[in-house]
Structure 1
């Protein structure tokens, strides 16, 4: 728990008023004033400037405030980790998933899981495949559903269970000019290059440490962003749809979402059959989590016809 006097100081600094701080802390003003003065005496500097309508931080006070806030963040992070460990000991399952797979089948698997384990806590994280791989390796999640990652470091103790393959489709809004362009199919890539590009939950070089050749990934990532004059990188599928609807942007996404996208008012402009991806489940090689295995089996069953 945070040091009592530091907690007093933090409350005073945030309220800018001794009276308000004492009320929040449920102590008397004299008790709070004495504690702050002793803190200043112990440190040998003034932390507060007393004004008629409140207090202000000195330069020393601002430095000390940053220190106290950092301590509070560390304390809260520690308590979160302890609580999470306690919940996992009692069967909490933590999974990662891309939004496309959540919409298509994972949420239905979760429904089956909840029916079978009504008292089990769940943690669900959305993100790109590299960030989820890093969380899996670090033990922050038990498994994740996404594309197979090429070039993983050889020592990564993970296993990939394939589910199905997909291809890359390009989506636009219903009135996009390319939908009526008769010459589009002659050279799709050239025609699309003149329009903004939307990348949903794109990869980032900060996660490339899980790969054999991080530099190579960096180069690929940077070059891919140079294929369009304007690129929108968005960490949310729904926000991407908003941009797609209000601009003439083009959004590459899995062809497995063609039907879902059409229901949401978007059109498949083109599918590149040469871009094939393997979709599956990643987990640690030594999987001793019965609940994770149950969810994996449910997903394997429901994706046989995708």
Structure 2
């Protein structure tokens, strides 16, 4: 908004040039000269001056009414621009598996928003391949997950290893598998539930030669009795059947509150790396690196260290 109009509004609202100087932090001669310029530009007398201060002329009343409208529009414009700047500079869009969200990601983002109350948070929860798809398309800037074995090196996703966990086996309270250490064969005699549904469009992420050489199950051929990308739906199914769900062991305390209990597994359990996926081309961006720093610190507090 024009500086002279802002000064005019201050004089009109305080009732004197002298009082307006304190509001505007300018000298009285400067205001006097600027108001003469404004009157000359508009070709109208705006003030009637007296020993008590100034009052608006009829022309001045018209100018004041319109200047206040212009000021509101200007203030709204600046507020909108600032809110957009905050969204662009401080907003966060990330993906996370259910386990990591429960253990530490939720608390990190809540603390971040307390420090940046106007910064929007976008969180995609669920399957790691869906999150990878969103990362590559630019919908999210990073995601937390297990390391995804057999990815095609050409997709440009960089994995930052932070911890190592294992896949727990979870069943309803009162399930026949509870109460003793169970072998893999005993567990797999029961139907399996999955929260990681394979989608044909995700097959392009994988190096099929790598999978074949290691005897991996062909993409999308995993067997299960029930599958859903909603963890709530999976838990509902578990509560009402003898099926089991494999998912990171770190979610055990949360599941226990839902009546879903971890089965004791026999033997040495395979260690699975977990960490953060980012696009290699975006490393070095300040906002991304700041978010990574907070998440890495929180992960190291909540989970065991990586064995690298």
- Aligned: 1:240 with 2:239: no
**Gaps spanning 5+ residues in structure 2: where?**
1-83, 304-308
Q: Match of 1:71?
A: none
Residues 170 and 179 (structure 1 numbering): CA distance in 2 closer, same or farther, change over 3 Å? Answer: same
* TM-score, length-scaled by structure 2: 0.62
Q: Match of 1:53?
A: none
Q: How does 1:1-306 map to 2 (within 5 A)?
A: 89=88, 91-180=90-179, 185=182, 188-213=183-208, 216=211, 219-225=217-223, 231-271=225-265, 273-285=268-280, 286-305=282-301, 306=303
Whole-angstrom distance in 2 between the partners of 1:87 and 1:209: 36
Does structure 2 retain, via aligned residues, the 8 Å contact 1:113–1:295? no
Q: Match of 1:32?
A: none
RMSD: 2.6
* TM-score, length-scaled by structure 1: 0.63
Query: Number of residue pairs matched?
Result: 214
Does structure 2 retain, via aligned residues, the 8 Å contact 1:167–1:271? no
Does structure 1 retain, via aligned residues, the 8 Å contact 2:95–2:123? yes
Residue aligned with 2:168, SS: strand
Does structure 2 retain, via aligned residues, the 8 Å contact 1:208–1:214? no
Whole-angstrom distance in 1 between the partners of 2:125 and 2:86: 20
Does structure 1 retain, via aligned residues, the 8 Å contact 2:150–2:210? no
Whole-angstrom distance in 2 between the partners of 1:117 and 1:290: 16
Rg larger in 1 or in 2?
A: 2
How far residue 205 of structure 1 moved from its aligned partner, in angstroms, is 3.3
Whole-angstrom distance in 1 between the partners of 2:225 and 2:262: 19
Q: Match of 1:78?
A: none
Residues 114 and 130 (structure 1 numbering): CA distance in 2 closer, same or farther, change over 3 Å? Answer: same
- C-alpha distance after superposition, 1:106-154 (max 9, x if no partner): 0011012112322212211123112211221121211111111122222
How far residue 282 of structure 1 moved from its aligned partner, in angstroms, is 0.9
